[in-house]
Structure 1
C-alpha cells in the first residue's frame, strides 16, 4: 500500500465513510482496510504518514525479499507504471490488468491467465477487463478453438481510447450547452454553462482531429 493510498484512507475516515466504501474507492478488500486502520491507531488516531513510516520500519525488521527481474509480475518497473495509471484515475485492479497486458510479449491474455498471474479472483479480472474494453483500452476476441475470450491490447488501442473518451466528453459538453439554452443564455448560469460547453467542444474536436491525423504513427 502506498502513502497516497493511506492519505485516501485518512480522507475517507474524515468524511465518515465506511471501511467498505473506502475499500471500494481504493479497489482493495475491506479486510485490508480494516487491518490497516486497526494496526495504525484506529479510526480516531489514524495518521497516513505515521502509518506509512511504521510499515516501512516493520518491513526493514523482516527478512528482505529476493530481487525480482524487471518486467516480471510485481517488479519495481511494473509497480511504478501501475501507480502512474492509478494517479491518472484508473482503479488499481484495472490498472494492474492493463499494465500486465501492456507488458506481455504479444499483448494478449485470457481471463484465466490474468487471474493466475495477478493472483486475484476471476470476478476482479472480469470487472477490470469490462472497464478496459468499454473505454477502448483493450479489445475482446473470441478463441473458437478454446471457446474462451482473449483480451488484446495493440497499438490501435491508444487511438480508440482517445476517440471513446472524446465522444463521452463531447456528449457532456453538448448537454451543458443545451442546459444553457433551457436556463436562458443571458442568465449567469446559462452563460457559465455555455462557455464551458463551447470550450470542451472545441478542445475535444481538436484532440480527435489530432488523433486521426497522427494515427498512422501507430502502424
Structure 2
C-alpha cells in the first residue's frame, strides 16, 4: 500500500467511485490505499453524499497548516490562543467521526474556562443558527459527551463538560458493545452455531462482549483516578 497524503487526483478518483456507487473497500483497492484511509477521508469531508474532491483537498491543506507545531507567543491575545486550541480540537474530533457542528460545540465547551455555556452563548460564539446548536447538542447528549445543568438565576440550561463526562461516555460505549454482543448471540442461536453465518455471529458476540467488559474496567480505573 502506498504511503503519504492523498493527492487531488486520488480524491477525484474517490469521488468518481462514490458516484459509481462503490463501497470504501473497492475504492481503496483501486487506489491501493487502506480502506480506513478512504473511510476517514470521506466521512470527515461531508460523507458519501456530499463529498467534493476539490473542497476536501483544500480542507486538508488548511488542517495541515493549522496543525503545524507553533510556539506559544506570550504576546498573542488570549482569545486568539483559545480559538487556535478550539480549531485544533475540532479537527481531531471530526477525524474521529463526529459531525463538524457537534465537534465545534464540544471543542468550544472544552476550551471554555467555565466549562459550560448556554445555547445562546454557543450561537453567538460559533456564529451559527439556534437550530444547528440544538441538533449538535442532541447528538452530544445522546453520546453522553456533554451534560446539562440549570442556571436558576438566568432561568436557562447550560451545557457542560466536566471530569465525569468521559467516564459516562465510556459506560455508554460499554452498553452499546454489550447490546451488540447480545443481538449477535441471539442471531448465532437462531442461525445455528455450526453454520458459517452462525459461527460468524458467535465470534462477533464474543468480541463485543469482551470489549464491553474491558471498557467498563477502563472507565472504573479512570474514575478511581479522578476521585483520589
Tell me how many residue pairs correspond in the alignment. 184
**Corresponding residue for 1:15?**
18
**Corresponding residue for 1:40?**
none
Q: Deviations over 1:28-51 (max 9, x none)?
A: xx9xx7xx96xxxxxxxx6568x6
Q: CA contact under 8 A between 1:10 and 1:48: conserved in structure 2? A: no
Seen in structure 2, the aligned counterparts of structure 1 residues 210 and 160 have a Cα distance that, compared at 3 Å, is: same
Measured in 1, the distance between the counterparts of 2:122 and 2:97 equals 21
1:120 to 111, 124, 128: 128
How many angstroms does 1:25 deviate by? 7.1
Measured in 1, the distance between the counterparts of 2:44 and 2:209 equals 32
Q: CA contact under 8 A between 2:44 and 2:94: conserved in structure 1? A: no
2:155 to 147, 162, 182: 147
Seen in structure 2, the aligned counterparts of structure 1 residues 217 and 8 have a Cα distance that, compared at 3 Å, is: farther
Seen in structure 2, the aligned counterparts of structure 1 residues 172 and 88 have a Cα distance that, compared at 3 Å, is: same
**Corresponding residue for 2:106?**
98
Q: CA contact under 8 A between 2:90 and 2:103: conserved in structure 1? A: yes
**Corresponding residue for 2:119?**
111
2:215 counterpart of 1:207: yes
2:181 counterpart of 1:173: yes
Aligned pairs (5 A) from 1:55-66: none
Please report the TM-score for the alignment, with normalisation by the length of structure 1.
0.72
Q: Secondary structure at the match of 1:145?
A: coil
Measured in 2, the distance between the counterparts of 1:10 and 1:122 equals 37
Seen in structure 2, the aligned counterparts of structure 1 residues 8 and 70 have a Cα distance that, compared at 3 Å, is: farther
Measured in 2, the distance between the counterparts of 1:154 and 1:114 equals 17
2:34 counterpart of 1:26: no
Q: CA contact under 8 A between 1:111 and 1:125: conserved in structure 2? A: yes
- CA RMSD across the alignment: 3.4
Q: Structure 1 regions of 5+ residues with no counterpart?
A: 38-45, 57-65
Q: Deviations over 1:108-129 (max 9, x none)?
A: 1000000000001111111111
Q: Secondary structure at the match of 1:70?
A: helix
How many angstroms does 1:14 deviate by? 3.9
How many angstroms does 1:164 deviate by? 0.6
Q: Deviations over 1:62-82 (max 9, x none)?
A: xxxx9972113xx2x322211
Q: Secondary structure at the match of 2:81?
A: coil
Measured in 1, the distance between the counterparts of 2:174 and 2:221 equals 15
Seen in structure 2, the aligned counterparts of structure 1 residues 162 and 8 have a Cα distance that, compared at 3 Å, is: farther
Measured in 2, the distance between the counterparts of 1:167 and 1:8 equals 37
Please report the TM-score for the alignment, with normalisation by the length of structure 2.
0.69
